């Protein structure tokens, strides 16, 4: 799970409606139902991977609500959005997981499918509102939207729920390879997955592995 946090003076999202699917509503909407906006607070862009779960959501919510991104009386970033009574606007954005190493067209193979990411986004917003103690404004999942903001600082922070090495070695990923050595992870890092496995096992065993050849 990946989020981009931006400390804002104000932020808004305007829905570009597709009337063939009927009207869509934004949480925290004003001006009818075509836009939602906040004042001082955080604009949160959020993306999900197929391997993300409730633990990633819970960890990320705690990090967002408690991260000290706002100034205290001395001007030091020592207060959280919760402590300053700030608001949050959350917008789902699968493009956060773009892979651009090969070619000029971004690949989205790491981004979770809609049937996976939509319920996680809903859980994320509900948990975020619970921890913040007030409603969280949102965009509409999967809709075409225009997002505007006034970044205060500027202050922008990118947060991943998992370190890259842990993500590459997640059990869900490993099962897809059925223990076949020498295959690529398929991510931006093209090193064989066997190299990652050896490094992890050696670290846990605190000694080097003897080479083994398999057919």
Other CB atoms within a 10 A radius of the CB of residue 164 amount to: 11
Residue-wise burial string across 187-207, b where 16 or more C-beta atoms lie within 10 A, e elsewhere: beeeeebeebbeeeeeeeeee
From the candidates 16, 95, 122, 156, give the one annotated as an active-site residue: 95
Are 144 and 16 in contact by the 8 Å Cβ rule? The answer is yes
Find, among 32, 27, 19, the residue nearest to 141 by Cα: 27
Alpha-carbon gap, residue 154 to 113, rounded angstroms: 32
Beta carbons within 10 angstroms of residue 209's beta carbon: 11
Q: Give the C-alpha separation, 37 to 23, whole Å.
A: 18
- Residue 156, classed as helix, strand or coil, is strand
Question: Does the active-site annotation cover 177?
Answer: no
Residue 93 annotated among the catalytic residues of the structure: yes
- Measured CA to CA, the distance from residue 214 to residue 128 in angstroms comes to 48
Choosing from 48, 93, 121, 138, the catalytic residue is: 93
72 phi, psi to nearest 5 deg = -90, -165
Given a contact cutoff of 8 angstroms between Cβ atoms, the answer to whether 185 and 193 are in contact is: yes
- DSSP-derived letter for residue 20 is G
Catalytic residue among 48, 70, 94, 124: 94
Q: Which residues are catalytic?
A: 93-95
């Amino acid at each position: 799970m990946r989020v981009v946090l931006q400390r804002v003076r104000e932020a808004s999202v305007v829905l570009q409606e597709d009337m063939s699917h009927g009207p869509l509503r934004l949480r925290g909407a004003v001006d009818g139902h075509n836009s939602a906006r906040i004042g001082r607070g955080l604009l949160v862009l959020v993306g999900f991977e197929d391997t993300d779960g409730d633990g990633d959501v819970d960890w990320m919510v705690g990090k967002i609500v408690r991260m000290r991104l706002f100034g205290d009386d001395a001007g030091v970033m020592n207060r959280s959005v919760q402590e300053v009574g700030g608001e949050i606007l959350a917008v789902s954005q699968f493009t956060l997981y773009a892979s651009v190493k090969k070619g000029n067209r971004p690949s989205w193979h790491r981004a979770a499918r809609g049937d996976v990411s939509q319920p996680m986004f809903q859980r994320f917003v509900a948990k975020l509102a619970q921890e913040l103690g007030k409603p969280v404004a949102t965009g509409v999942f999967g809709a075409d939207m225009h997002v505007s903001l006034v970044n205060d600082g500027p202050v922008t922070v990118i947060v991943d729920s998992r370190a890259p090495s842990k993500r590459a070695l997640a059990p869900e990923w490993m099962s897809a390879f059925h223990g076949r050595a020498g295959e690529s992870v398929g991510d931006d890092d093209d090193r064989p997955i066997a190299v990652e496995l050896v490094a992890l096992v050696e670290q846990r065993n605190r000694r080097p592995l003897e080479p083994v050849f398999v057919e």
